[in-house]
Amino acid sequence: MRKFELVKPEFMQYGVDPKTLKKPYRATKHAVCYDCFSPIDIEIPPESTRLVFINFKAYCNPDEGFILASTSGLGKKGLILANGIGIIESDYADNETNDGNIGFLLHNLNKMPYMVRAGDKIGQIFFFKFLTTDDDAETNSNAKRTGGFGSTVK
């Protein structure tokens, strides 16, 4: 099962009306990625980074994950993802600290502020299936994700 869903009300960021949010979608029939949109107006100062949550979570199968990526259009404007790409595992959805709210770390390469408007595309999501090695030890196979954004960096 792959799908997008609004995060629970208590994890909704920025006090926006959920009815105004744009759910991620593919722009064309053959698009590989789902476009994601800012729920707010936010200015990103020159050579600075801001985290923008989209107020949606994504579900995928246990042997799948998804990648957060920038778009060529944003790159042409000098806006990139600060972490290059984001890789998110299937157990991120419903985690107890942010309910799986997807966040994009937007970095402004310009010498001038960059203004993102509510409804602007801020990145894209690519779902993928992953494989494990035949000798995978599964040392943490019983571990349960308890954190949200950046929680596996400990």
* Residue 11: CB atoms within 10 Å: 18
pLDDT in tens, 66-109: 999 999 999 999 999 999 999 999 999 999 999 999 999 999 99
What does the block give as tokens for 106?
Answer: 């937007």
DSSP-derived secondary structure for 22-56: PPPB-SSTT-SSEEEE-SS-EEE-TT-EEEEE-SE
* pLDDT at residue 152 tops 80: no
Dist. CA 98–CA 7, nearest whole Å: 8
pLDDT in tens, 126-138: 999 999 888 887 6
Q: Residue 154 contacts by C-beta under 8 Å, 6 or more apart in sequence?
A: none
Give the domain ranges of the chain. Answer: 3-13+32-129
The predicted model scores a pTM of 0.89
CATH of domain 3-13+32-129: 2.70.40.10
